[in-house]
Structure 1
């Protein structure tokens, strides 16, 4: 793995499965320590509920196991000093069926998802947050303004710390996440009573929408939309409290 390359999902899965050597694990440990988004991605993969085992059980029955054994037997021993028979068969079978498997997994999973699942993606990340995630972050005005300018540039907004201020809550960080080319702004707060909370924004052309509620990962969500953006507040706060805060923010940001 290149020292400067961000680990791929395949490498992160191998890391979680303890299939990497000490040097490779050390490189990923260092990358995780330097990149909070990568750390969250690793935790998301660790929590994934996609039916990988069932999918592999089905498709690997179709793999030509006898032929793969014969291929392995033709390899000279020095050429495979650290390669177990089970590892080789799994890798070879994976190459044979990876295209079919990927299609089945993705299409099957995608068919169960709402057409616009950005709120679910945000909730997956927010479920990993604890107060310690945010406590150490700088929250001075200059830092906040610089972070908000990054959001403004990607989402066509004009945000100021004063517009985002909420009673009792401390504004901790504003950052841009991205999924499948779609930028998502995440503005996080720390509530001394209920822990991490976030205002999240992405572009939307589905038209204006009034406040609506849902629950994800044990958290309350209130969401709405204007003509250009979709918005959501998510946290462990009571739903009625979140809606009151959403009304304050919507009033300020649409003025």
Structure 2
């Protein structure tokens, strides 16, 4: 216990891992019963489910212990006791393992953040759109084909206006945006009932994903992925209606 009788996070983790003796467990039980904030903190710690042990076990087998042993053998101190040698190898291997695990966890976090961030950026951009934003844009097929060729050149999508024709809405524009060197295509329609509607796509190698829903900046979003691209359809349309439109577009664009 701390000086104020409140368990530290380390003690709570030991409590959750069943590493305390009976008296220590009873003290924490009593503290949790009396302190609602401490109870919430214990619940928060209990929710942690990252596979740290599996990650350490996997990369631990990759630690270059043979090379570390060779380095140690070359050091000019033959009188050093065996315990020191074992300690050195364990510590050095631990540093390698810690670095690899940290790198992998950070890379996974960063990739997830990037995958979500492009949808956040699009939502921020679409939140600025009103019907008047799309008024007076050229709607002839020649202009649309030229815009779609630009998307094809950047993202490898051979799109034609007929694939993007939707019932009850008017196709208004196709354009290329860019974030941190990542091209993002945006195809926009004007829905007379719900306002601007946009299909956005960027390159992705994270594998196919089924439809999923979310809300960003007060807009409904349906997003999915194929083997090469990540897609999102965003607008004020009801979520069920938006998914029906997404299914229609996915069928046409994958044909």
* Both proteins in one fold, TM over 0.5: yes
Q: How big is the alpha-carbon RMSD for the aligned residues of Structure 1 and Structure 2? A: 1.4
Shift of 1:130: 0.3
Cα distance in 1, alignment partners of residues 114 and 202 from structure 2: 15
After TM superposition, the structure 1 = structure 2 runs for residues 168-247 of structure 1, keeping only pairs within 5 Å, are: 168-247=168-247
2:190 is paired with a residue whose SS is strand
Q: CA shift at 1:115, angstroms?
A: 3.5
- Aligned pair count? 145
CA apart distance, 1:136: 1.1
Aligned to 2:38: none
The answer to whether 1:161 aligns with 2:161 is yes
Structure 1 unpaired stretches of 5+: 1-109
Other-structure match for 2:113:
114
Q: Which structure 2 residues correspond to residues 95-110 of structure 1 after superposition, within 5 A?
A: none
Deviation at residue 192 of structure 1 after TM alignment: 0.2
Q: Match of 2:19?
A: none
SS of 2:150's equivalent in the other structure is helix
Q: Following TM superposition, where does structure 1 have runs of at least 4 consecutive aligned residues deviating by more than 6 angstroms?
A: none
Cα drift, residue 114 of structure 1: 2.7
Match of 1:167, SS state, is coil
Aligned positions of 1:1-255 closer than 5 A: 114-116=113-115, 117-255=117-255
Cα distance in structure 2, aligned partners of 1:114 and 1:131 = 31
Flag the structure with larger Rg.
2
| TM-score, length basis structure 2 | 0.56
